Amino acid sequence: MLTISRELVDKIVAHARADHPDEACGVVAGPAGSDRPERFVPMENAERSPTFYRFDSMEQFRVWREMDDRDEVPVVIYHSHTATEAYPSRTDISYASEPDAHYVLVSTASEEDTPFRSYRIVDGAVTEEEVKIVESYG
């Protein structure tokens, strides 16, 4: 189960809406070993595409090095789908390289609703997990 603050959910959804019609992407870092998403890190979609995302390699290197320096890990790796449901594509699954991360997808296909779903992706196997949105971590 992913437990995440309402503030972080709102930031992820706002980033997805702001980048629409292109896919948005980023990470939420948290203290190593905690499984607690804390630090929102929006990233650039190097593809600038409505159907595909890719972290810019230099930006990803910088962000991952910064997480190492702060004893953090990517607790959440998120991106948006602009025309399809919030479910990992074959490409998303093939790029999933952090077995401990929660892979969050939001869909901006509808203006009224922005589904927010989380998955574990390990060795090509996708498992949807419950999302618990909290006001604060207690």
- Residue 33: both structure tokens together: 């070993």
Cis peptide bond upstream of 21, omega within 30? yes
Higher pLDDT, 101 or 138: 101
Residue 108: HSE in the Cβ half-sphere, 13 Å Cα cutoff: 20
Parallel, antiparallel or unpaired: strands 39-43 and 72-81: unpaired
Interval 63-98: pLDDT, tens: 999 999 999 999 999 999 999 999 999 999 999 999
The pLDDT of residue 89:
96
Interval 115-127: pLDDT, tens: 999 999 999 999 9
Q: Indicate the pTM of the whole model.
A: 0.97
Are 56 and 46 within 8 A, CB to CB? yes
Q: Which amino acid is at 125?
A: A
pLDDT band per the 50, 70, 90 thresholds, residue 45? very high
The pLDDT of residue 138:
79
- Homologous superfamily of 2-134 in CATH? Cytidine Deaminase, domain 2 (3.40.140.10)
* Domain residue spans of the chain: 2-134
Give, rounded to a whole angstrom, the gap between the first and last alpha carbons of the chain: 16
The pLDDT of residue 104:
98
Average model confidence (pLDDT) for the chain? 97
Q: 109: exposed, middle or buried (C-beta count within 10 Å: 0-12, 13-18, 19+)?
A: middle
